[in-house]
A and B are shown apart, each in its own frame.
Chain A
Amino acid sequence: MALVQIRDVYKSFHRDTQRIDVFTGLSLDIAEGSFTALMGPSGSGKSTLLNLIAGLDRPTSGTIEVAGSQVQSMTAGQLAAWRARHIGFVFQQLNLLPVLTAYQNVELPLLLTRLAKSQREERVRVALGVVGLDDRIHHYPRQLSGGQEQRVAIARAIVADPTLILLDEPTGQLDAKSSQEVLALLRRLNGEFGKTIVIVTHDAHAAEQAKTVLHLEKGVLIERAAVGA
């Protein structure tokens, strides 16, 4: 069954007086438990699609259903609560709040829940353990390497046990070794923990880690390739 159902989505921006159509009737299903990579040149709409799925942006028309919820029809307040429960998001860079430790950064999504301090602490430690950073709990982002920062961001994305994990160029700023570590972690999250993952990337090697690769060009899905786990 599809966890994400995108139907006939149109999305356009206005830059000064010029209208830019990003999607013109895009439809797409993303299955539960899948690991999908979105590829394509700059400006093809990859990040916009990710933002639409996360409810960070709204389609001009069409429907986006994620985990049974019609994302496009929710209010801002409903969307915030929905994101806190269903979405884990990782950016390319500047994911972490520099004034907070790794522990405090990972704890942020849990502050929005009713969990007690001790329960939050347990979850944060587990999440940091999963990403292999349980020995960096009290380090600030400036004291971590780029790869470690991304792993903390992934720990934050999974700590509230979301339905869907979205990553926008998570290895874009990393060296090969750190990149490998992050990709291995994503494979593990998908394979071992059954997390549904959608990753936007330019990196063919990163895309190879996914089970499905989607190619977008000028807002049109031009290729669907099953890579196989």
Chain B
Amino acid sequence: MRYLPLVLANLGRHKRRTFLTATSVALALFLFASLRTVVTTIAAGAQFGSARRLVVTNATGIVFPLPLAYAGRLRALPGVQAVSWANWFGGRYGDGKRFFATFAVDPASYLDMYPEIRLPPEQREAFLRERTSAIVGKRLLDVFGWRLGQDVTVQGTIFGGDWTFTIRGVYTPSDRVINDDMLIFRHDYFDERLQRGGIVGWYILQIANPDDAAGIAKLVDDQFKNSSAATKTGTEQAFNASFATMWGNVSLLMNTIGMAVVFAILLVTANAMMMSARERTGEVAVLKTIGFSDRRLFGLVMLEAGVITLVGAVLGLGGAKLLYRATNFSGAGFLPGFDVSGATLALGGVIALLLMLASGLVPAVRAARLPVVQALRHVE
């Protein structure tokens, strides 16, 4: 502690340089935390899913529909307790700049199957009663400044035209991974208006025993193997994971960019530290003459690097944690549950430590090894 004033005085020598160096470190760690959280959020989304829910999609691809008529046959299969269905809608509101997910669902069975979507009982009743009603996530309500009972008109992007819904419910998810800025409306209204003869995007089956999942999935797919629309059935987790695999290369890209940024900042910081040490060669000579040992000078330079990286780490990592939490960031609904994890903070801390070692080591060794007489030439 007795050397701290000396360290702080040295850091204050070029305030702008010290500020810029610490800011570089903060920015690098902020970016690292942000990019890594994108990756971990995608991974967490892929792992989300009940073991008791199976998802049935068209075997050709998720963009191809399934007949609504399959519902009854699915319900009749052994081990299947309940059946629900949903369809991606793809609407936009206002100028369309703020993306949000929109689904048409079978209301009663869907809400029964997803207790994670918490809705007050009277709002649930209103949603079940009114064909043109919709429920929205709390965040979406806040973003657009909507209110309960308001009519909102959404422009369909896949299914064209203006679609007006009355907001009858505001849900709050029980799990951060569940998106809380969706608009969910009724599939019967969707089906009626489109007059496409009853099609759905995918089915969700609730099964009695998770151990039977593989057997039931095979049973479903065998049932419709020779139909006009063959099915592909899997667990909800596998379904979500298939979405995550679409992000696969993005994750790699995020990690690569994150590491490249950290490495670039490492060079900047190391350069700043070396410049700072080089400028003080004469002072190192004075300190050695006074009796500061090589080891002590090494420690002082490392301490300077440590203070810079510590400030950068606190600002960068702490800033990322607080910012995303305070703004409830979700990447326009693509990254629900976006939150800088403890593991990311710990990893960021390790990177900061490595940054300190890598940037401080060379100037610290140089200061420690500098022969006094050679250093004195800078004084004389």
Chain B residue with Cβ nearest A85 = B291
Is there an interface contact between B12 and A99, defined as CB atoms closer than 8 Å?
Answer: yes
**B180 within 8 Å of A by Cβ?**
no
Interface string of A93-109 (1 = CB under 8 A from B): 11111111000100011
- Cβ–Cβ < 8 Å partners of B296 in chain A: 80, 112
Tell me the residues in window 1-50 of chain B with beta carbons closer than 8 Å to chain A beta carbons.
2-3, 5-6, 9-10, 12-13
Tell whether A77 is near chain B: CB-to-CB under 8 Å: yes
Whole-angstrom distance from the CB of B27 to the nearest CB of chain A?
Answer: 26
* Closest chain B CB from A169 CB (angstroms): 8
A190 interface contact, C-beta 8 A: no
Q: Which residues of B contact A91 (CB under 8 A)?
A: 286, 289, 376, 379-380
Chain B: interface residue count, which band? 20 to 34
- Across the interface, B376 reaches (CB within 8 A) one of A56, A84, A100, A117, namely A56
Question: How big is chain A's contact interface, by range?
Answer: 20 to 34
> Is B321 interfacial (CB 8 A cutoff)?
no
Contact of B288 among A80, A98, A104 (CB under 8 A): A80
| B380 near A92: Cβ-Cβ < 8 Å | yes
Given A51-B376, A91-B379, A111-B3: A100 and B9 within 8 A (CB)? Answer: yes
A4 to chain B, nearest CB (A): 17
With A99-B13, A104-B5 as contacts: A76 and B379 at CB distance below 8 Å: no
A76 and B289 within 8 A (CB): no
- Residues of chain A in range 47-65 having any CB-CB distance to chain B below 8 Å: 47, 51, 54, 56-57
Selected from A51, A81, A97, A117, the residue in CB contact (under 8 A) with B291 is A81
User: Measured between C-beta atoms, what is the minimum distance from B190 to chain A in Å?
Assistant: 71
Contact check: which of B10, B290, B379 meets A112 at CB < 8 Å?
B290
- A:99-144 near B, CB below 8 Å: 99-100, 104, 108-109, 111-112, 117
At the interface, yes or no: A89 with Cβ under 8 Å from chain B? yes
Once A91-B286, A99-B9, A100-B6 are accepted as A-B contacts, the answer to whether A80 and B294 lie under 8 Å apart by CB is yes
B111 on interface, CB distance cutoff 8 Å: no
With A47-B380, A56-B376, A97-B283 known to touch, is A89 a contact of B290 (CB < 8 Å)?
yes
The contact string, 1 if C-beta is below 8 Å from chain A, for chain B 208-251, is: 00000000000000000000000000000000000000000000
How many angstroms from the CA of A108 to the CA of B6 in the assembled complex?
A: 9
Q: Give A87 to B288 CA distance when docked, in angstroms.
A: 11
Q: Say whether A95 contacts B290, CB under 8 Å.
A: no
Question: Any chain B CB within 8 A of the CB of A156?
Answer: yes
Does B380 contact A108, Cβ atoms closer than 8 Å?
no
The docked-state distance in angstroms from the alpha carbon of A189 to that of B253 is 70
| Closest residue of A by beta carbon distance from B380 | A92
CB neighbours of A156 from chain B (8 A): 290
Q: Are A94 and B282 in contact (CB under 8 A)?
A: yes
Shortest beta-carbon distance from A13 to chain B in Å: 10
Chain A contacts for B288, CB-based, 8 A: 56, 80
Of chain B, the residue at the smallest CB distance from A115 is B2
Residues on B with beta carbons closer than 8 Å to the beta carbon of A77: 293-295
Contacts of A94 in B (CB 8 A): 282, 286, 379
**Most chain B beta-carbon contacts within 10 A, residue among A54, A82, A99:** A99
Closest to A95 in B: B286
Q: Do B3 and A51 touch across chains, with their CB atoms under 8 A apart? A: no
Pick the contact of B372 from A57, A109, A168 — CB < 8 Å? A57
A83 in the interface, Cβ–Cβ < 8 Å?
yes
Tell me the bound Cα distance from A100 to B290 in angstroms. Answer: 15
Bitwise, B347-380 to A at CB < 8 A (1) or not (0) is: 0000000000000000000000000110010011
Q: Are A80 and B293 in contact (CB under 8 A)?
A: yes
**Contact A80:B292 (CB < 8 A) given known A99-B12, A104-B9, A111-B3:** yes
- Give me the interface of A with B, judged by CB distance under 8 Å: 47, 51, 54, 56-57, 76-77, 80-85, 87, 89, 91-100, 104, 108-109, 111-112, 117, 156, 168
